[in-house]
Structure 1
Amino acid sequence: MFENPSDESTQAILKKSRRIAVVGLSPNPARPSFGVSKIMRTFGYQIVPVRPAVTDVMGEKAYPDIQSVPGEIDLVNVFRNANELMPIIDACIERRVPAIWIQEGIINEEAANKAKAAGIWVIMDRCIYKDYLRLCR
């Protein structure tokens, strides 16, 4: 059974991370991925859109997948269906991404446990924005 990290660990990840790759970042301002990412950017995070078939989101160059993102990624924030998580987890393991945030309402214990077993810090079914407000403001 998957268990989310402690508040202390979550706070530490939020404070340490600066560059967040957002998988499934929609160019539609009405979508939760857009709103959450826009707000996280105001908190000082660099947002890197990961979404095939678009060239940019929020004025930032978009990449088709995790493997295509240049440079270091501190955290991957996932806004995709639970049944689409495993290839994202595999890409994060391959890239040696240190942390994965699986957004509120998305639950795939097998994928989360696979990432955790590979040494990646993982939180699942939680909103990064809500936790940031609760733990870092």
Structure 2
Amino acid sequence: MVQECVLPDYSQVPQEAFDIVKATKSLAIIGASPKKERPSHQVFAYLLKQEFKVVPVNPGQTEILGQKCYPSLLDIPFSIDTAVIFRKPEAVKEIIYQALQKGVSNIWMQEGIISQDAYNLAKEKGLNVVMNFCFKKVHILLKTR
């Protein structure tokens, strides 16, 4: 079933989103792209300039913006706090299972990534979850609060 892409209202950012951004030290950009026009590239480039340890994840790339790229979340050889997901909604459940294996605490489904089933699964498994908000935009909002 195709879900409509509903743009989020950034005046209504849930507190959990701010809490995740504040607590995150390391994050994986799942679906990172080397193409400058892609949102995943733009968010990755922005976050590299911030206080985070940022890792790109894309099985079709070896490096993005000078950073080693890993084929999957499970291939990253160190711990990750937050998985920021830029994949189709139907791919999110598998990423959640990888996050559980890896010990990732936070799942962040980027703006436009909407899967209530995946959201519910992550919550049932005890993960912190944000859906349909942009990590970069929430980070910028947090800096201006």
SS at match of 2:108: strand
Matched residues, number: 132
* Partner SS, residue 70 of structure 2: coil
How far apart in 2 are the matches of 1:93 and 1:72? 12
Q: CA RMSD in A?
A: 1.3
TM-score, normalised by the number of residues in structure 2: 0.86
Query: Is the 8 Å Cα contact of residues 92 and 118 (structure 2) preserved in structure 1?
Result: yes
Change (3 A) 1:70 1:82: same
Residue identity over aligned pairs, in percent, reads 33
**Aligned counterparts of 1:107 and 1:10: Cα–Cα separation in 2:** 15
Match of 1:105 among 88, 102, 112: 112
Q: Does 1:88 align with 2:95?
A: yes
Match of 2:51 in 1: 44
Moved over 4 A (4+): none
Shift of 1:72: 0.8
How far is the alpha carbon of 1:74 from its aligned partner?
0.9
Query: Structure 1: any 5+ residue segments left out of the alignment?
Result: 1-5
**1:129 corresponds to:** 136
SS at match of 1:80: coil
Give me the whole-angstrom Cα distance separating, in 1, the residues matched to 2:29 and 2:64: 11
- Structure 2: which 5+ runs fail to align? 1-12
The residue aligned with 1:74 is: 81
